[in-house]
Amino acid sequence: MARVIEFYVPQNYKSKQRWVPMDERGKLIVFTKVLAQKSA
């Protein structure tokens, strides 16, 4: 089950938004697990 992460965003926060085409909006982003290499 997915978890919802809530966080505080101040009213004066200005985000750097990049333009996203209409067909890309609302698309699910899949993050893959990156395995860290342990040094010997």
Tens of pLDDT along 1-40?
778 888 888 888 877 777 878 887 777 777 777 766 766 6
Residue 40 confidence (pLDDT): 61
Residue 24 confidence (pLDDT): 78
Task: Report how far residue 40's alpha carbon sits from residue 38's, in angstroms, rounded to the nearest whole number.
Answer: 6
Residue 34 confidence (pLDDT): 72
